[in-house]
């Protein structure tokens, strides 16, 4: 019989924990290798976790809604199907037998009613003797919650962490908030006298006496819980009051995440936006000429997006100081050109998968990558790796008929470009015989950038260079 632990997989370099959203399999269900077993939410993406072994799900260790660290066990899988089917019926009566092993002198079964008081004492003692964890890593999500709740860095250093290498998880800080946010840095040196005095007594008492005294301990703990001041439990924020002709809709998890990131970006980076109008007539004519043959050959649509991304990747090579991020007083220049593509989801939310090393892909490769990421994003099949490592972002607002926009930067990047709708306009055409009025195809490029590190000259020259590449598109390009 082989029992294998299923652990929370690593879902990206910066992801240290995940929240179990939904178990797709239940205890006793057969599981095929690579079959999805549960849905997990991180601060970047919701994804399904597949099984790495075939077998039967024997035990679920983490319930829905719980936060678990990467590498922690989440389930037990029995890989020997015959052994699993034989042992599964016997699992039910095992619990009552274990519960009936400790009896009181009156013969009454009390194991199921015994509270684990020493654990409470240990938790209080460990909290009272906690030492500051200076230099400990904190995830952006934990720091964001601490900032919202007004938790100082000194208190964070004293907060016990249950994550890998004692890191503070989302659950740790939320439990601290729900507990009233007592200052750990001020109370860490004071020990709780009551648990310290009662612990030796409990240890020295005979086993029978400890069982008989535990109902009394329950009575002592309950009033202590009831006696907690109301201020120690933060009151939940009441829902806004609306009239009968209004509808109240609570934000889902992804919308809350988007909202927080957008607010953070506007707070962190002073945004400036430059606009350039590009004549893309040759590009439009080339696509109209090749799109049907490409659809027949590849089974995919040939859109404008990969052509525009190719122009942006080339412009980044010309202006590498756009391809940077900011960390405190330092500017980090990125060698890889990884372009994020904003995709609107059917739910109305937004997600940004990344085309890694976009400068190394030809036009056909970019087209396939754009279609693949967009399609998987809309059916919730992106992996955390698809969302990592972006160095520049593109938002195609033209797909909604918008001609320009002022996009918000994806932190910690320093720039983003909105691609407007392509419109026909009358324009002056210069010829050797003189100027003429003709119908041309134009589009606006809207370039938002972080004025901390990108000045108007660099931001303006970059978007102008992108327009130049689009206007100089070779009509003889082969795809």
The DSSP code for 388 is S
53 is catalytic: no
Which secondary structure element, helix H or strand E, spans residue 446, and what is its range? strand 434-450
Task: Kindly calculate the radius of gyration of the chain based on its CA atoms and give it in whole angstroms.
Answer: 30
Residue 29's CB: how many other CB atoms inside 10 A? 12
Sign of the dihedral through C-alpha 145, 151, 155, 160: negative
Residue 304 to residue 315: CA distance in whole angstroms? 17
- Residue 98, judged by CB atoms within 10 A of its CB (0-12, 13-18, 19+), counts as exposed
Taking the C-alpha atoms of residue 157 and residue 138, their distance in angstroms, rounded to an integer, is: 10
DSSP string, 29-77: -EE-TT-EEEEEE-SS-EEEEEPSS-EEEEEE-S-TT-EEETT-EEEEE
Active site residue 356: no
Q: Which of 53, 290, 451, 468 is catalytic?
A: 451
User: Rounded to whole angstroms, how far apart are CA atoms 45 and 380?
Assistant: 9
* Alpha helices for 159-246 (secondary structure H): 170-178, 184-187, 193-204, 207-226
* Cα 345 from chain centre: 16
Asked if residues 177 and 145 have their Cβ atoms less than 8 Å apart, the reply is yes
Cα–Cα distance for residue pair 27/48, rounded to 1 Å: 18
Q: How far apart are CA 189 and CA 299, in angstroms?
A: 68
Q: So which residues are the catalytic ones?
A: 451, 455
């Amino acid at each position: 019989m082989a029992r294998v632990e299923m652990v929370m997989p690593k879902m990206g370099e910066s992801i240290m924990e995940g929240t179990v959203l939904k178990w797709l399999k239940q205890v006793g269900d057969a599981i095929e290798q690579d079959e999805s077993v549960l849905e997990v939410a991180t601060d970047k993406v919701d994804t399904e976790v597949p099984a790495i072994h075939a077998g039967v799900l024997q035990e679920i260790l983490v319930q829905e809604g719980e936060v678990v660290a990467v590498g922690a066990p989440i389930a037990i899988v029995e890989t020997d199907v015959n052994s699993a089917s034989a042992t599964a019926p016997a699992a039910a009566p095992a619990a009552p037998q274990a519960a009936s092993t400790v009896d009181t002198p009156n013969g009454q079964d009390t194991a199921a009613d015994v509270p684990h008081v020493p654990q409470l004492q240990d938790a209080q003692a460990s909290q009272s003797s906690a030492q500051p964890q200076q230099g400990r890593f904190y995830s952006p999500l934990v720091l964001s919650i601490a900032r919202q709740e007004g938790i100082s860095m000194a208190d964070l250093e004293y907060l016990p962490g249950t994550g890998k290498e004692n890191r503070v998880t989302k659950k740790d800080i939320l439990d601290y908030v729900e507990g009233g946010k007592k200052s750990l840095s001020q109370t860490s040196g004071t020990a709780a006298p009551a648990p310290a005095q009662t612990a030796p007594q409990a240890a020295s008492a005979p086993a029978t006496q400890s069982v008989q005294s535990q109902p009394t301990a329950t009575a002592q703990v309950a009033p202590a819980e009831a006696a907690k001041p109301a201020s120690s439990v933060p009151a939940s924020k009441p829902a806004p009051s609306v009239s009968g002709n209004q509808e109240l809709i609570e934000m889902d998890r992804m919308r809350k995440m988007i909202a927080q990131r957008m607010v953070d970006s506007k707070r962190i980076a002073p945004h400036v936006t430059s606009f350039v109008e590009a004549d893309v007539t040759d590009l439009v004519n080339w696509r109209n000429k090749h799109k049907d043959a490409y659809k027949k050959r590849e089974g995919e649509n040939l859109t404008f997006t990969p052509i525009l991304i190719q122009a942006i990747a080339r412009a980044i090579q010309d202006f590498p100081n756009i391809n940077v991020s900011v960390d405190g007083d330092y500017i980090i220049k990125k060698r890889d050109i990884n372009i994020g593509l904003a995709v609107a989801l059917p739910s109305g939310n937004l997600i940004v998968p990344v085309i890694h090393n976009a400068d190394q892909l030809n036009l056909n490769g970019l087209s396939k990558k754009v279609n693949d990421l967009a399609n998987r994003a809309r059916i919730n099949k992106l992996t955390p790796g698809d969302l990592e490592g972006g160095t520049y972002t593109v938002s195609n607002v033209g797909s909604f008929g918008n001609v320009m926009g002022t996009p918000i930067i994806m932190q910690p990047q320093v720039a983003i470009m909105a691609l407007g709708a392509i419109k026909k306009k009358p324009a002056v055409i210069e010829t050797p015989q003189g100027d003429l009025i003709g119908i041309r195809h134009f589009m606006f490029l809207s370039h938002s950038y972080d004025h901390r590190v990108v000045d108007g000259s660099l931001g303006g020259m970059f978007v102008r260079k992108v327009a130049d590449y689009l206007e100089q598109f070779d009509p003889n390009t082969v795809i």
